Structure 1
Amino acid sequence: MLAVHCPQCGRPAPVSLASPDLMACAACHHRGPPPGDASQRLRAAAHALFQTDVRRRQLSEALRRMLATASQRHARLLVVFALAAVPISALCALLLLGLWVTPDTEGNLVVGGMTVAAWLGTVGTGAAVLALVRGRQRRIEEACAARPPAAPGEPAACHVCGAPLDGGGAGAIARCGFCAADNLVAPAVLARARARQVVLFASFEQAVSAELASFDRATSGAAASVVAIALVVPVTAFALAIAVTLAGESRRLPVDPTVRYAAVSTPLGPCIGKLTSLADGGAAPAVRFGAFRRPELPEEQALAPGAPIEAVSPGSLVGRAVTAKAGAGVVEEVFSSPLRGNSATVRRNDGTSFTSSVAGLCLDGPPAR
């Protein structure tokens, strides 16, 4: 706010480049010419102002529409974000529910943690983007906000030259009749501007130049940047999901020795399953072939009471010929994967390889010598 000291009470009184020879003090109601050489400095500032291109202090049509509908646009972004968060939230909830009810606990802690991290990352990214869009919008509003009225009932003043503005209303943009600068006169914006209002007594010309520079910085490419930031949500969520999956698949951890396996007879020959219960207390043992099994295998196969159990150690599979859902080959390596649990790298005869869960592998022959 351009101001001078009132010659009667000494308090700051606003001045306008449009009326350099008149000041009005709201505190003591003094009206008269500014003291000292203030009028001359105000004329110099007005001269410097009109040497600049008028477009530097006006909003583009796109920005005018954006600011006039700021509240509605922010509400729509919230609705879109909420709708976009529903599928990922439902998917993560189903995954966690599946981990909770499944009797197969191998890798559940890691997969559950990754699911929660993916959800938090996606929702957190969306919230951050919304905050960025809102913050960018507020910076634009503050850069072109009119100066709040000095007293109730008085008009707002132009943020560039200090001239009184006509018109107003929620979301309205008023163009100054003196310098043709665009001013946002929405009541909520004016209230925020009043809290950050700075009184300037020094060089009026420098103050006007600084105001124009601030306006340029805030509005330069603003409409395009708001749209670009809003597009970050789906792109980032997709990239995050891929990154989490690739990170989980790339981990090679030592085999979990607490998981017990057994080779049982099936229509496909001897196949490896995960022991889910032991023959004690009258409970019959069973094996689970897991989600990565061949389609001919059941998810779980119960064993007859007293039937012999051929225990299998994952390490003993190295060099064995096996058949899996992805094809046949020889086991080269066994390891633990955060997503699959204990896994095996199988090399096909053509030199390509694939990864499969240990549970669900079918043995094709004796160990290689």
Structure 2
Amino acid sequence: MLAVHCPRCGRPAPVSLASPDLMACAACHYRGPPPADASHGLRAAAHVLFQTDVRRRQLSEALRRTLATASRRHARLLVVFALAAVPVTGFCAVMLLGMWVSPNTEGNLVMGAMTVAAWLGTVGTGAAVLAFVRRRQRRIEEACAARPPAAPGEPAACHVCGAPLDGGDGGGGVIARCGFCAADNLVAPAVLERARARQVVLLRSFEQAVSAELAAFSRATSGAAAAVVAIALAVPAAVVVIAMIVVITAESRRVPADVTVRYVVVGTPVGQCVGKIAVRKDGSTVVLFSSFRRDELPEEQLIAPGSPIEDLAPGSFVGRAVTSTRGAGVVVEVFSSPLTGNTAEVRRDDGTSFNSSIAGLCLDARPAR
């Protein structure tokens, strides 16, 4: 708010570039000319104002529509993102349900993490865009809000020049254009109430105050669409990067093998292969192979009732020659990974190594009993 000290009581009183020779003090009811230096400063500020392009203090047609229909636009955005999240949420729910009911837990953490990341990417994008749009609108409203009336029944004043406003125009009563400087002002009651709470009295150079007001208006009303697009692209990318970091970090951790998991070697179309023993809810026993198994191996293999099962501990595979989808070699270590469960480190003949789930390895010969 442009203001000067009242010549009668000394309290700050609002002034306007439209009437540099007249001021009114609400405190002592003084009405008359302001101090001479203030009148000169107001005229100089008006000169600076009219040297700038009028479009710098006006809203584009798109922004006028946005501000006039803000609540409806927010509701539409919410509906759009909710509809976009429905298929992703359904897919994620099916994936998580399948992992929950499956007796094979190998690789579930990886799939679960990626499934949750996909859901968070969709929901996070919607939430970020909605939050950004709301925040952007508040910034524009703060930059364009008219000066609240000094008393009930009085008109609001232009946020740039301080001239009284007649009321809202084509923006559904939300936007009023100043008759003196042609600046656009938001005059919605809710906006004026927020403006009243943050109203600042400006007693410094009026020229600097007007220039600062124009700069703030320009910053708040430029680049809104580009920023929304940037947010919409950045959030999913950030979620993917974070998910990859989590997966890589978890994969690098090694803890002792889970000895409660038992394995068995069974005959398969590709030879004697290692599977994990699991019991279904109906009481039947199956051998589960890893999700990262060879294509020739089934997902699971039923063990006939009454068949003898000689289960093996994870450590019993150390020193055995094995083959997998990543090659052949000798198991040199077994450990547990947060992502893939019990894992074998296999060293190839050329000295290089790779990691593979124990379930799904195939042996050159049956391990010693």
Alignment-derived partner of residue 141 in structure 1:
141
Q: Partners of 1:44 and 1:250 in 2: how far apart? A: 68
Any residues of structure 2 matched to 1:178-327 within 5 Å, and which? 178-249=180-251, 253-276=255-278, 286-293=286-293, 294=295, 296-297=297-298, 299-305=300-306, 307-309=308-310, 311=312, 313=314, 316=317, 319-322=320-323, 324=324, 326=325
Matched letter for residue 52 of structure 1: T
Residues 1:366 and 1:306: Cα distance change in structure 2 (over 3 Å): closer
- 1:17 Cα deviation from its structure 2 partner: 0.3
Matched letter for residue 19 of structure 2: S
> Does the CA contact (< 8 Å) of 2:335 and 2:344 recur in 1?
yes
- 1:195 Cα deviation from its structure 2 partner: 1.1
Any residues of structure 2 matched to 1:1-369 within 5 Å, and which? 1-7=1-7, 10-27=10-27, 29-104=29-104, 123-124=123-124, 126-168=126-168, 170=172, 172-249=174-251, 253-276=255-278, 286-293=286-293, 294=295, 296-297=297-298, 299-305=300-306, 307-309=308-310, 311=312, 313=314, 316=317, 319-322=320-323, 324=324, 326=325, 329-331=328-330, 334-344=334-344, 356-365=356-365
Encode CA deviations 1:290-325: one digit per residue, 9 max, x unaligned. 434445535242244261515253562555233x5x
| Percent identical residues | 71
> Does the CA contact (< 8 Å) of 1:335 and 1:344 recur in 2?
yes
- Structure 2 gap ranges (5+): none
Q: Partners of 2:161 and 2:192 in 1: how far apart? A: 16
Residues 1:301 and 1:198: Cα distance change in structure 2 (over 3 Å): same
- 1:235 Cα deviation from its structure 2 partner: 3.8
Q: Partners of 1:228 and 1:182 in 2: how far apart? A: 28
Q: Partners of 2:366 and 2:342 in 1: how far apart? A: 21
Residues 1:199 and 1:348: Cα distance change in structure 2 (over 3 Å): same
Q: Partners of 1:107 and 1:227 in 2: how far apart? A: 35
- Structure 1 gap ranges (5+): 278-282
> Does the CA contact (< 8 Å) of 2:265 and 2:274 recur in 1?
yes
- 1:87 Cα deviation from its structure 2 partner: 4.0
Q: Partners of 2:314 and 2:200 in 1: how far apart? A: 76
Matched letter for residue 328 of structure 2: G
> Does the CA contact (< 8 Å) of 1:111 and 1:338 recur in 2?
no
Matched letter for residue 289 of structure 2: F
Q: Partners of 1:43 and 1:354 in 2: how far apart? A: 80
